[in-house]
Amino acid sequence: MLRLHDYGNSGNGYKVRLLLALLGLPFTRVEYDIDRGETRTPEFLRKNPNGRIPVFELEDGRCLAESNAILVYLAEGTRFLPEERFERALVLQWLFFEQYSHEPNIATLRYWITHRLLDDDRHAQIEGKRRCGYAALDVMERHLEGRRYFIGERYTVADIALYAYTHVAGEGGFDLAQYAALRSWLGRIASEPGHVPITQL
């Protein structure tokens, strides 16, 4: 049985859970309390030396970390990852954007706020994180104007990766009211057959 080493509130873990649901693949979840350091144990570090979830464990015991790498692995040969070279590169472009420009700002603020971690040092970083987070949302809004999905008319792992933290951006204090194209896209993703919410574990 496939195993997902996970934390329920994580958008990165949710990406993988969502794709597994869309693909109809059965798996077992192993929950970790990241606030208690459960991903820093020697046993977990053997699965991922970086000490982070999610980790996807294959039936033969091999482990794959980094949520977007897991998405690409699972999507290989499915409708969620294009075969055509340029379209495939476009998917990777948005996966890199998500990890470099989106997740470090939107997801980080969400985590700090929902886990009540706003000490003086983090308070000093809020304005910069907020500015960079809105800049990422601006890029997404402009790209989605006139498009149904990030790669034209096709639902791919690029959409899954960007949906995970965008649809809960409000928990990090981001207001999506001004982003009409983005909100329409969020609705389309949520209405896809097989969609599961982040709260479904």
130 part of a folded domain: yes
Instruction: Check residue 179 and give its pLDDT.
Output: 98
196 part of a folded domain: no
- Residue 118 to residue 17: CA distance in whole angstroms: 28
Residues contacting residue 35 through CB under 8 Å, at least 6 positions apart:
115
What is the tens place of the pLDDT at every residue in 77-96?
999 999 999 999 999 999 99
Q: What is the CATH number of the domain that holds 110?
A: 1.20.1050.10
Looking at the structure, tell me whether residues 118 and 163 fall in a common domain: yes
What parts of the chain have a pLDDT lower than 50? Answer: none
Whose CA is closest to 9, among 114, 161, 95, 119?
114
Looking at the structure, tell me whether residues 63 and 133 fall in a common domain: no
Instruction: Check residue 124 and give its pLDDT.
Output: 86
Q: Specify the number of domains making up the chain.
A: 2
* Residue range(s) defining the domain that contains residue 124: 85-190
Model's pTM, two decimal places?
0.95
200 part of a folded domain: no
Q: What is the CATH number of the domain that holds 8?
A: 3.40.30.10
Apex 82 CA angle, 56 and 52, nearest 5 = 20
Looking at the structure, tell me whether residues 97 and 186 fall in a common domain: yes
Instruction: Check residue 117 and give its pLDDT.
Output: 75
130-155 burial, b if ≥16 CB within 10 A, otherwise e? bebbbebbeebbeebeeeebbbeebb
- State which of 23, 44, 75 marks the end of a domain: 75
